[in-house]
A = this chain, B = another copy of it.
Amino acid sequence: MNFNHLRSFYYVGKYLSFSEAAKNLYISQPTVSIQVRKLEEDLQTKLIEQLGKKIYLTDAGKRLYNYASEIFKLTREANLMINDISDFNIGQVLLGAGTTAGIYLLPELLGSFKAEYPKVEIKLQIGSSKYIIQRLLDNEFDFAVIGEGLVIDLDLISQSITKDELVLIVSPNHPLATRHAVSILDLCNETFILRERGSSSREIFENAIVKNNIKINVAMEFNCVEAIKKAVAANLGISVVSNSSLKLEKQLNVVASLKIKDLDLMRNIYLVYHKDKEFTNIIKNCIRYITLGIEN
């Protein structure tokens, strides 16, 4: 079934006139006549009958007209949908993030982005950097925000959008809590509660430790920063977490945070995306919001 022919037929059915149909299709009347005839030949069915000068739809014509009507209505709706996307009246941003970025950096930024584009769906999925990278390769995210530390696949492009410092946290009751300075060697005798391998914080910290030929004692691994902070607060061990995750804990003095002398725990936060990805406008806008907003 040829849709140009169907459209001509539909207009003839609508106006019950070939010339009126042609006018409204902005084509010539003979074209309409030919197209309708071709449709009839194609279907081997008379669709239109002309009694004297008047035009009527046959039974088959009436039935087909109803189908055509629905088809062209759907077409109009599809066009509106496309316009809605470019007007940001619909759309989506599929976003992956590592734990730190997803929990402590992005929510606020995404909130204000959403305020400007209220009709756009934002789907944020938080996971370990390793997991996020895998999902990026499967094109399940438009882009992602993760911490430095993992080998990034060659098919992915990453660019630093801010820096984030990891700090040592201890219970206020812990001996280190009152120390002005902590050195690398102070860490050797401590019990650590760390994030799992594959998380950016863990990789960064572990790499730094290894570079200094130090061995530490990891008692527990949690895949959740909040759980780690609770455990540290209860003095079950000490940890190294993103400074940006400690706002409330510092205010309420539930943990003490310290810098470790001679250990560079500053890491980059990367915006990562597939090298072949072409961003739509809404994604570009979202990235702009994040990259500009994250610096403050």
Contact = CB atoms under 8 A, between A and B. Distances in A.
Interface string A1-30: 101100000000000000000000000000
Contacts of A58: 280
A78 interface: yes
A77 B67 contact: yes
Interface string A270-286: 00001011101000000
A60 B74 contact: no
Q: Which of A64, A74, A92 has the most CB of B within 10 A?
A: A74
Q: Which of A44, A60, A90 has the most CB of B within 10 A?
A: A60
Interface string A24-67: 00000000000000000001111001111010101110011001
Interface in A165-218: none
Contacts of A68: 78
B75 A1 contact: yes
Contacts of A52: 155, 276
Nearest to A54: B139
A91 interface: yes
A79 interface: yes
Chain A, interface size category, equals: 35 or more
A103 interface: no
A221 interface: no
A276 B78 contact: no
Given A86-B44, A139-B49, A79 B274 contact: no
A81 interface: yes
Contacts of A75: 1, 67, 71
A85 interface: yes
Contact of A70 (B49, B60, B63, B74): B74
Interface in A65-114: 67-68, 70-71, 74-75, 77-79, 81-82, 85-86, 90-92
Closest 3 pairs (CB-CB, A-B): A3-B3, A67-B78, A51-B276
Given A3-B3, A60-B81, A63-B78, 10 more contacts: A1-B75, A43-B79, A45-B85, A49-B139, A49-B278, A51-B155, A60-B85, A63-B81, A64-B82, A71-B75
Interface of A: 1, 3-4, 43-46, 49-52, 54, 56, 58-60, 63-64, 67-68, 70-71, 74-75, 77-79, 81-82, 85-86, 90-92, 139, 155, 274, 276-278, 280
5 contacts: A49-B139, A58-B280, A59-B92, A64-B81, A67-B78
